[in-house]
Amino acid sequence: MEETQHVAVFDFGSQYTQLIVRRVRELGYFAKLYSPEDISEIGTPGAIILSGGPKSTSEPDAPDIDFEKLKSYGVPVLGVCYGMQLLNIKFGGSVKASNKREYGPAMLAPTTHEDLYADVSAESQVWMSHSDTVQDLHDDVEVIASNQHGTPVSLKWPGGFFGIQFHPEVTHSHEGNKILNNFLNQAEKLQPFHIEDFKREMIEGIREVVGERQVVCGVSGGVDSTVLAVLLKEAGVNTRAIFVDNGLLRKNEAAEVQANFKRMKVDIETVDATDRFLDALAGKDDPEEKRKIIGNMFIDVFWDAVGDAEMLAQGTLYPDVIESASNAKSKASVIKTHHNRVPKILELQEQGKVLEPLAELFKDEVRELGASLGIEKDILNRHPFPGPGLAVRCPGAVDRHRLNIIRDCDAVFIGKLKEHGWYDKVWQAYAGLIPVKTVGVKGDERSYEWATNLRAVISEDAMTAEWVDLPAQLLREASQDILNEVSGINRVLYDISTKPPASIEWE
Ligand code: XMP
């Protein structure tokens, strides 16, 4: 994407920085995150936001920004929390350090109903998370809002510089979006972001980068890889799309994925590696070992199929890019290496052979792009499905028999969710297997069979999740059908665990 007229957001390390980018995009403008050191590499932005951060401006290694360069862009600047304190210092004021943290809701009372506070209520709840506060103010500054104690929490400096002590990007700031939008309205050069324009630019970019080379991509049937493959087709580049059937997919999934791509006129090569995966997994019951086997096997199978790639395309999204960049910068221990950043891929990346056209988009934008590429709603709204597939829904060892039982239970449950209009309301749902036998009665006979667990959750980012209070009738029908139709199961349980402490999958 051409980096003109977008909103440049400088990251000072706040946990909410990514949310600022999201909010700006939701308000209809393109926004991108930058490190303050990269201030000369932001093109020609239409507006600039300085994020919050965990440090105090008085700490010796507190992050800084080149103020002269910042001013030279001549566009409105909004400092949020740490960003506001930094601006106050740059404008000749001072900041009072405190070791007491103000965290939670506060009342905002604007002293003006212009610019940032146009149409904002006389009293509005905002979310605070800071320990420092501005102290001395320079003569030129105007206090444009205070809190309930009369402390200044929002400032305006000459030249289109604004500061807010609170976080407009979190939903607990009730009029946060309005305040952000008011700020963006100050930016005359900012242009609305349309996915259609973005798509055009992406397609041109892909053609330019790829040229005559052949691009290989992996498809799973999930949203990101499907959008990627269709985008490559739309760009008209020479593409090979490879679909690995690891034998751990849901009922009829491989056939459905093939049919979906056929309808979209994208040729895919299917590699049926069921035997390789299931043989390697035989008798393995340790969750981490199972995951490792599946992950390594996928790489082997995929690269065997790829051979010598001239180029590899991946459906990496913006949150993954941000996460990898911050992992690389903060020397913090990396909890998991993203599967799009394994050594083989890093090597190709160094040779300029990796294409990641979706790397500036959030998931909802990928769906929007997919819709504009004509991809069916059912495909775009599919629930997430983990790479290791049904293996993480079957504690203990997996085998064909167990996998088939899970497939049958899952098909009934998902079918019921669709029938009752709940599939699109939940974030993810599935049936798993609890391979523990319990006693029951089937017909006139004693049964001694396994149990299935049904799980349906709502989540925003998979980091936390709530179980869904599904209608009893839906659960009743799912249970009845499973008990009647799936041999090997005599008990149906509904998982009512939140994450944390549980996780969404069972392994
Ligand atoms: P957990 O079980 O950690 O799952 O709460 C969070 C989300 O991530 C999905 N998941 C995975 N996705 N590869 C993936 O692509 C994986 O190894 C993997 N493990 C879990 C899970 O389905 C849920 O949406």
Q: Kindly write down the DSSP assignment for every residue of 77-91, as one continuous string.
A: EEEETHHHHHHHHHT
Report the pLDDT value the prediction gives residue 244, as an integer from 0 to 100. Answer: 98
Q: Which of 45, 49, 50 is nearest to 5 (CA)?
A: 45
Buried b (16+ CB within 10 A) or exposed e, 353-376: bbbbbbbbbbeebbbbbbeebebe
- pLDDT tens digit sequence for 123-158: 999 999 888 888 888 888 999 999 998 989 999 999
Cα 506 to averaged position of ligand 1 atoms, centre (Å): 10
| Residue 333: per-residue pLDDT | 40
For residues 178 and 193, give the distance between their C-alpha atoms in angstroms, rounded to a whole number. Answer: 18
The dihedral region occupied by 448, where left means phi > 0, alpha psi between -120 and 50, and beta the remainder, is beta
| Ligand 1 mean position, distance from CA 108 (Å) | 40
Instruction: Give the closest residue (by CA) to ligand 1 atom 18.
Output: 386
> Per the structure block, which two tokens stand in for 168?
């407009």
What's the pLDDT at 319? 82
Q: What is the pLDDT of residue 5?
A: 86
Cα separation values, 423 from 157, 392, 420, 469, Å: 50, 21, 8, 13
Protein residue closest via CA to atom 21 of ligand 1: 386
| pLDDT value of position 102 | 81
348: exposed, middle or buried (Cβ count in 10 Å: 0-12, 13-18, 19+): middle
> Considering only CA atoms, which residue is closest to atom 22 of ligand 1?
386
**SS3 at position 134:** strand
Distance, CA 18 to ligand 1 centroid (Å)?
21
- Residue nearest atom 17 of ligand 1, based on CA coordinates: 387
CB of 499 shorter than 6 A to ligand 1: yes
- pLDDT value at position 1? 46
Query: Which is the closest atom of ligand 1 to the Cα of 505?
Result: 2
Mutate to test the pocket of ligand 1, among 299, 340, 341, 505 (most ligand atoms within 8 A of CB): 505
Q: Which of 3, 6, 130, 167 is catalytic?
A: 167
Q: Is the CB of 205 under 6 A from ligand 1?
A: no
| Encoded tokens for 370 | 């997919």
What are the chain's domains? 7-184 (3.40.50.880), 195-380 (3.40.50.620), 398-494 (3.30.300.10)
CA distance 468 to 487: 27
Instruction: Give 507 Cα–ligand 1 centroid separation in angstroms.
Output: 9
The answer to whether the CB of 420 is under 6 A from ligand 1 is no
Nearest to 178 by CA among 23, 18, 49: 23
Other CB atoms closer than 10 Å to residue 322's CB: what's the count?
16
φ, ψ for residue 268 (rounded to 5)? -125, 150
Answer yes or no: 167 catalytic.
yes
Kindly report the protein residue whose alpha carbon is nearest to atom 20 of ligand 1. 386
113 carries an active-site annotation: no
- 106 C-alpha to center of ligand 1: Å? 36
Q: Is 339 one of the catalytic residues?
A: no
Return all residues near 212 (Cβ < 8 A) that are at least 6 apart: 238
Within 10 Å of residue 279's Cβ, how many Cβ atoms? 10
What is the distance in A from the centroid of ligand 1 to the CA of 392?
A: 9
Distance CA(70)–CA(36), nearest Å, equals 10
Ligand 1 pocket residue status of 287, Cβ below 6 Å: no
Which of 81, 217, 394, 409 is the catalytic position? 81
Tell whether ligand 1 has an atom less than 6 A from the beta carbon of residue 386: yes
Residue nearest to atom 19 of ligand 1 (CA): 386
Q: Find all residues with CB under 8 Å of 50, minimum gap 6, and list them.
A: 10, 12, 36, 65, 77, 78, 79, 80, 82, 83, 84, 86, 87
User: Any idea which residue has 């290989």 for tokens?
Assistant: 216
Per-residue confidence (pLDDT) for residue 332, from 0 to 100: 39
Where the chain has pLDDT below 50, the residues are 1-3, 330-336
Torsion of the alpha carbons at 354, 359, 364 and 365, rounded to the nearest 10:
-100
The pTM for the full model equals 0.85
Q: Whose CA is nearest to atom 10 of ligand 1?
A: 386
The Å distance, Cα 386 to ligand 1 centre, comes to: 5
CA distance 242 to 295: 16
Ligand 1: does its nearest atom lie under 6 Å from the Cβ of 504?
yes
